[in-house]
Amino acid sequence: GNSVTQMEGPVTLSEEAFLTINCTYTATGYPSLFWYVQYPGEGLQLLLKATKADDKGSNKGFEATYRKETTSFHLEKGSVQVSDSAVYFCALKIYNQGGKLIFGQGTELSVKP
Amino acid sequence: GAGVSQSPSNKVTEKGKDVELRCDPISGHTALYWYRQSLGQGLEFLIYFQGNSAPDKSGLPSDRFSAERTGGSVSTLTIQRTQQEDSAVYLCASSLVATSGTDTQYFGPGTRLTVL
């Protein structure tokens, strides 16, 4: 089946620290990969995406590279800010399987000043 | 509209009552999705529509759950005889088409359902 596994949270970092949130997937077809973010009190927003192997998605200083050989899509940021505190969801979608997103369990990030 | 809207934002109901949740997708988006977010289960897919048809209802947890979409726009998710385990945030999303593997889904703010 299709599934996404994320590292468990909560993750607590100091401002300007380096962030990695691990995400691995299992897919029966060829997936597109996404990171969504949910800020406190807000709805889910797309952060970045990658649609084929070796693509790198990037946005707001975050980046993730689609690694087919390791079935991974780890999220990284070089220097986090307090405003990055949120819950981050890794997700996949299989081409021609209706477009439903399959989400990981979410990783809560808390950045302290 | 500018984004996906959902109503009501909050709904408190008594066990055994029926509830209807509404979703207004982004204008021009032909695909519409319902998800559920709960503490124990995370984010789960429920059903999606392409136009007014629902090719995949596999995520609906029981026959108490149903959804429809009319005019290729507004969708309603109905839960009959609500149970306490139905308490969750119900999220709606829309995208241009369902069959694209790369299409971005845009999410609404959700309806928080509490069943007492």
Q: Flag the least confident range among A19-28, B18-27, B48-57, B86-95.
A: B48-57
Query: Across the interface, which of A95, A99, A102 has its CB nearest the CB of B31?
Result: A99
> How far is A95 from chain B, CA to nearest CA, in Å?
4
- Contact call for residues B94 and B105 (beta carbons, < 8 A): yes
- Contact call for residues B5 and B108 (beta carbons, < 8 A): yes
Beta bridge partners of A34: A49, A91
| Mean pLDDT, rounded, for A66-78 | 97
List pLDDT tens digits, range A1-22: 899 999 888 999 999 999 999 9
Query: Across the interface, which of A36, A43, A45 has its CB nearest the CB of B110?
Result: A43
pLDDT confidence of residue B102: 72
| Residues 2-31 (B) with a CB less than 8 A from some CB of A | 31
List pLDDT tens digits, range A13-52: 999 999 999 999 999 888 999 999 999 888 899 999 999 9
The rounded mean pLDDT for chain B is: 92
pLDDT confidence of residue A99: 78
For residue B104, pLDDT over 90 is answered with no
pLDDT confidence of residue B12: 97
pLDDT confidence of residue A43: 87
Q: What is the separation of C-alpha A77 from the centre of its chain, rounded to a whole number of angstroms?
A: 11
Q: Quick one: closest CA in A to B103, which residue? A: A99
Would strands A107-112 and A11-14 be described as parallel, antiparallel, or unpaired?
parallel
Query: Across the interface, which of B102, B105, B109 has its CB nearest the CB of A101?
Result: B105
List pLDDT tens digits, range B61-101: 999 999 999 988 999 999 999 999 999 999 999 998 766 66
Q: Spell out a b/e string for B49-74, using b for 16 or more CB atoms within 10 Å of the CB, else e.
A: bbeeebebeebbeeeebebebeebbe
List pLDDT tens digits, range B5-15: 999 999 999 99
